[in-house]
Amino acid sequence: MSAVPHHRVSFSRITRGLRAARKGKTREGWAAFLLFLKGYRILGRRRRTPFGEVDILAQKGRTLVAVEVKARGGEAAAKAALSITQQRRLRAALSHLAARYPLCRHLRCDVVLFTPWPRHIRNAFGE
């Protein structure tokens, strides 16, 4: 009988992961609140699609907006965290979700950066 490799995960690694997840949910909540104050209607948070998850789905007028929330130490690091692959994934997820909102004529991807204060970047990928 062959031995199955046993991977141990340290307690500190688990707690760091839980802390990061909690911090992410909190920042998403603050981002949704910021968007609400700017007149956006929040349609959902952590919306799953076959292409990936959308942090916040919002609507303003006839525009459906997928919002990615990023928290990093500085603005350059936060922008660098938005890879081309991630941008494509977010666009595909938004296109998928758009079928459920036929009154929305326009699609847009925004980003809310926390560095440490929130900053809303409209049309972040220059579509």
CATH number at residue 65: 3.40.1350.10
In a domain, 98, yes or no: yes
Per the listing, tokens 């926390």 go with: 114
In a domain, 57, yes or no: yes
* Domains contained in the chain, number: 1
pLDDT tens series, the chain, 127 aa: 555 555 666 667 777 666 666 666 788 999 999 999 999 999 999 999 999 999 999 999 999 999 999 887 776 776 677 889 989 999 999 999 999 999 999 999 999 998 878 999 999 887 6
In a domain, 3, yes or no: no
- The residue range of the domain holding 95 is 11-121
Give the CA distances from residue 54 to residues 6, 11, 20, 85, in Å, rounded to whole numbers and listed in that order.
34, 29, 18, 14
| C-alpha 62, offset from chain centre | 21
49 DSSP assignment: E
In a domain, 2, yes or no: no
Spatial CA neighbour of 108 closest among 79, 78, 67, 70: 67
pTM metric for this prediction: 0.80
Q: Which two tokens stand for residue 39?
A: 């007149």
In a domain, 127, yes or no: no
